[in-house]
Amino acid sequence: MDSHSAPARGARPHPVGDLLRDWRGRRAMSQADLAFEAGISIKHLSFVETGKAVASRDILLQLAAALGLSLRDRNALLEAGGFARQYGERDLAAPEIADARRAIDLLLRRHEPFPAIVTDRQWNVIVANRAATRLMTMLLGPERMQRPLNHMRMFLGPDELRPFVENWPSLAAALLARARHEAMAAPLDLSLQSTWRELLKLPDIAAPQFNEREAPGPLCEVRLRKGDVAVGLIGTVLTLGTPQDVTLQELRVELFMPADEASEAVLTALAAQDA
């Protein structure tokens, strides 16, 4: 059965089948590909997708693993199949994830005097080290730092960091490619989809061309200048290894390294002033 075949006439769409077909299409996988990766027969997968068979919880988890679904999407697939969610979604202050929080805090402290932030799945800044706070305060002022920050909006919006970004067109293109890649990889995440649509409404923003099989580059350069102070940064995004919690899996640790010796000297001098 072809991956894009429609259900039989008169058949009621099956939620699990709809999800599986959509995710297979996004990953350019045929039924044979997915069945092989999941260790089940093509016939059984076909019956699950058309609603002729009900997949067990274990089969759904095997299919989710074969598709490389996020924990949030694995929960969605289980719920569509009538099962309880498998993975928790805890607040960062929860005692169950205290060890992970301590590891993140240590990483941010050890990255000093260079900036580092942690964002959630909607790119909201939830933790920033002192270097990041110093740099953003210098650029935006202390009053702005009292309100919530969103990593994407700070750089893409017209009245945040954008006036201080010398290479804004290339930076904006890189950030939009990343944002769209993450948004399109999570079509069921309505909050993320809403944030993505809000980004597209910002002035001078155009949706980038998107290849679902091509991930954004691992590094991103930003050149900042305010008056006589210039800082070049190379940013990279880290994710936690193999967490079994939705919140932890969706955290993004953004580390920024100085792009040159002059930038390193500026960041070191700012740290000295704050000592």
Return the beta strands (E) in the chain as ranges. 116-119, 125-128, 219-226, 229-238, 252-258
Closest alpha carbon to 162 in 132, 115, 171: 171
The per-residue pLDDT for 206 is: 75
Q: Which alpha helices (H) appear in 86-205, and where do they start and end?
A: 98-110, 130-140, 151-156, 168-184, 190-200
Give the chain's radius of gyration (CA, Å).
Answer: 22
In 3D space, the residue among 127, 99, 131, 104 whose CA is nearest the CA of residue 115 turns out to be 131
- Residue 273: the pLDDT is 84
Query: Strand, helix or coil at 126?
Result: strand
63 burial level (CB within 10 Å; 0-12, 13-18, 19+):
buried
Per-residue confidence (pLDDT) for residue 27, from 0 to 100: 87
Averaged over successive runs of 10 residues, the pLDDT of the chain (275 residues) comes to 40 74 90 94 94 93 93 92 90 83 94 96 94 95 92 93 94 90 85 91 77 67 95 92 83 95 95 82
Q: What is the pLDDT of residue 224?
A: 97
DSSP 192-216: HHHHHHHHHTSTT--PPP--TTSPP
pLDDT at 77: 93
Q: What is the pLDDT of residue 216?
A: 66
Q: Note the pLDDT of residue 210.
A: 57
Residue-level pLDDT at 228: 93
Q: What pTM, to 2 d.p., does this model score?
A: 0.81
* Side chain identity, residue 63: L
